[in-house]
A and B are shown apart, each in its own frame.
Chain A
Amino acid sequence: RKEVEQDPGPFNVPEGATVAFNCTYSNSASQSFFWYRQDCRKEPKLLMSVYSSGNEDGRFTAQLNRASQYISLLIRDSKLSDSATYLCVVSPWNFNKFYFGSGTKLNVKP
């Protein structure tokens, strides 16, 4: 079983739409959670960390559900520039190691 699983998509949405992605993780001892963004033919870059209480950064909201072992990313008022692949990342408590999901592709269309 994979450490982190994501729906590969693609999610095709119009500009201005709200879209949400989920990601599930298998290790209940996981401690740190992140969303990374990867543009086509580029390296992944941190979008936001995910905190236990949930957190928001502008149009982006991340939530953590430890009981069900998933994290989510909500994007409001989608922009064309949000088109990218979103990678869910999980790190266990006792290792300096990061497990990446395979990514969810988002296409925002005019």
Chain B
Amino acid sequence: DAGVIQSPRHEVTEMGQEVTLRCKPISGHNSLFWYRQTMMRGLELLIYFNNNVPIDDSGMPEDRFSAKMPNASFSTLKIQPSEPRDSAVYFCASTRGGNQETQYFGPGTRLLVL
């Protein structure tokens, strides 16, 4: 079975540009999470969805960040405009739902904003 799929795997962009990260969760999973990982701050939860509905976006750093989940098999995280401090690895993870479930992570998108 395919795991969580993320694209692109690497993204290099210039400050001020729009960046869109994509995620396809594991089929049948009801919850989807977006995380950001940096050396300084570790793994931070940005937002999570249950059944395509955003439940908690308190981790989204500011209005420049937005996330959508139009259907059960696709989610996007958008940064507009991007800034150098947004450089990080962005992971998407999915679970079957419930806090006792294993999170399955995608391979991540390495974002560098120049």
Contacts and interface: CB of A to CB of B under 8 A. Distances in A.
Interface of A: 31-32, 34, 36, 42-46, 49, 87, 89, 91-93, 95-103
Interface of B: 31, 33, 35, 41-43, 45, 48, 50, 55-56, 91, 95, 97-100, 102-103, 105-108
Contact of B43 (A31, A44, A95): A44
Q: Is the interface of B mostly helix, strand, loop or mixed?
A: strand
20 contacts: A31-B99, A32-B99, A34-B102, A42-B107, A43-B91, A44-B105, A45-B105, A46-B103, A87-B43, A89-B103, A91-B99, A93-B99, A95-B99, A96-B48, A96-B95, A98-B45, A98-B103, A100-B43, A102-B41, A102-B42
Nearest to B6: A43
A98 B42 contact: no
Q: Is the interface of A mostly helix, strand, loop or mixed?
A: strand
Contacts of B108: 43
Nearest to B50: A96
B105 A96 contact: no
